[in-house]
Amino acid sequence: MSTTDPFVLAWNSIRYHTAVAMDHADKHLDSVAATIRQKTQDGGWFPSLSRKPAPPPPPMPDAVRAGAQGAGFAWQWVKDHKWLVAGLVAVVVGGSVVLVKKRRQRGRRRKALKASNGARKEVVVIHGQPHDPLVKSTAHDLERRGFIVYIAVSSHDDEQVVLNEGKADVRPLQIDILDTLSARASVARFLSYLRSPAVPFHGAPAHHLRLTALILIPDTSFPAGPIETIPLDHWSDTFNLKLIRTLAITQLLLPIVTEFRSRILFITPSIPYSLRLPFHAPEVAAVGALEGVIGCLRREVGYTGVQVVWIKTGTLDLGSSSNGKGGVQASRADVLGWSPALRSMYARGYVNARAVGDVRGSSLKELNAAVVAGMLDRRVKQVVRVGSGSIAYDVIGQWMPEQLVGWMLGLGGGKRLTEAVSARASPPGSRGSSASAQRSLENSVEWEQVDKLA
């Protein structure tokens, strides 16, 4: 088809004019849209209902200022009453600790388990002097809690002391450690008794007994005084009664303890040993030896499931008059038996050392609770401290300097008094030998100090 064709020319003309018209329309629409967008952003003519709400205003400076002033006032009040606040915090924290302990104790076992027939089945062996207040209190408390308590005795007199208590479940266990064959035979009979089925009454089903714990309580009475005044036989008696007897009973009953996986509890005084208290050398030596035995025994039997607990006792209320003024008078009576030379040298320090721990003791209930916890608690502490001063004196003895501990014990005046007496007495080589020296020693200022202390 030729380009001069009228139809082609007409079609081309229509397309051209249509394209031009569409371009003009696009430009006009773009201009209108731009104008609308600009007017919308300005908002001058847009309806108020379609506008976006404005953000809330910021808080008023007065409110902020008031809050800051309130916080500052509270902080200033705390600073002005810091001791009151500290007391309140201590009361709250202490009360919380007490509540937590009580809740934990509710879940702990505090009594012996009974057999299916209702009879007692848990057995405890106590080694100690039957007339010792600690032994009596421990035995009676465990008997009330449902245990069968045996007290190891070595003589007929001690056996009668146990029988005179009148408790059906507090019984003597005769073990004469001086006779090896007899002692082993007694232990063998006791083991056979534990292994044999027990019938509490006729017709009741039999049950088996179990050794729960071996409790070792060495006698708490020790000789005291300067080392040069303590006879050697007193040293021998101390180690035989406190150390050798304890080791002998432990050695004899250890096979039974390991068989039943029982627990071993040692109960010893702690204050003289913690402070290395002067004039208490026998007690410090005996307790120190027992500490070594306890440490070795714990490692020897630990893998067998036997746990060893060491209970360190402070000052306990034994119901006697050995503390306070009575203790000072007893110390003065001891001093009166020394020679004048020894009195001038040691009297004041001895009285001061004997006065350590002469405070109101804790109740024996605390010791009984510690014994039960050591026997029955799942998690057992290796060392438990019970009684007034058991923790404080232990910390003082371990961490405070030696000079400061000596000053606290009142040992600072001994040297000065000795020098003052020596200046008026005979030469050092004849100490206490002449009559004039004795008179000067007896009239010394030191003895007046002892009278004042008494």
Please state the domain extents for the chain.
122-317+360-401, 323-358+412-454
48 burial (CB, 10 Å; 0-12 / 13-18 / 19+) is exposed
145 contacts 112 by C-beta, under 8 angstroms: yes
pLDDT of residue 137: 94
Query: What number is the average pLDDT over the span 335-353?
Result: 82
Give the C-alpha separation, 216 to 157, whole Å. Answer: 20
In DSSP notation, 180-230 reads: HHHHHHHHHHHHHHHHS-B-SSTTSPPB--EEEEEEE--------S-GGGS
Residue 25 has pLDDT above 50, yes or no: yes
pLDDT of residue 117: 83
pLDDT of residue 412: 56
Most confident of 174-178, 319-323, 351-355: 174-178
Give the count of alpha carbons within 13 A of 157, CB side only: 2
Residue 436 has pLDDT above 50, yes or no: no
pLDDT of residue 57: 61
Region of 127 on the Ramachandran plot (φ > 0 left; ψ -120 to 50 alpha; else beta): beta
- Name which of 395, 369, 364, 370 is nearest 385 in CA terms: 370
Query: Greater confidence, 147 or 28?
Result: 147
Query: Greater confidence, 245 or 84?
Result: 245
218 contacts 242 by C-beta, under 8 angstroms: yes
- Name which of 369, 289, 329, 335 is nearest 109 in CA terms: 369
199 contacts 206 by C-beta, under 8 angstroms: yes
Question: Which of 2-16, 273-287, 409-423 comes out lowest in average pLDDT?
Answer: 409-423
Residue 432 has pLDDT above 50, yes or no: no
- Name which of 267, 281, 358 is nearest 310 in CA terms: 267
pLDDT of residue 386: 93
Give the C-alpha separation, 273 to 248, whole Å. Answer: 23
Q: Tokens 């007046």 map to which residue?
A: 448
- Per-residue pLDDT of 398-409, as tens digits, reads 888 877 777 777
Query: What number is the average pLDDT over the span 52-61?
Result: 60
Residue type, 262: S
- CA 158 vs. chain centroid, Å, equals 34
Most confident of 21-30, 42-51, 366-375: 366-375
Residue 59 has pLDDT above 80, yes or no: no
Give the C-alpha separation, 56 to 36, whole Å. Answer: 28
Sign for the CA dihedral angle at 64, 69, 70, 72 comes to positive
pLDDT of residue 340: 87
Q: Which CATH superfamily is domain 122-317+360-401 in?
A: NAD(P)-binding Rossmann-like Domain (3.40.50.720)
Region of 246 on the Ramachandran plot (φ > 0 left; ψ -120 to 50 alpha; else beta): alpha
Confidence of residue 216 (pLDDT cuts 50, 70, 90): very high
Tokens coding 244: 């050798």
Q: Tokens 């465990």 map to which residue?
A: 142
- Per-residue pLDDT of 290-332, as tens digits, reads 999 999 999 999 999 999 999 999 989 887 544 445 556 677 7
- CA 346 vs. chain centroid, Å, equals 35
Residue 202 has pLDDT above 50, yes or no: yes
Strand (E) or helix (H) holding 371: helix 364-376
Query: Greater confidence, 432 or 290?
Result: 290
pLDDT of residue 233: 92
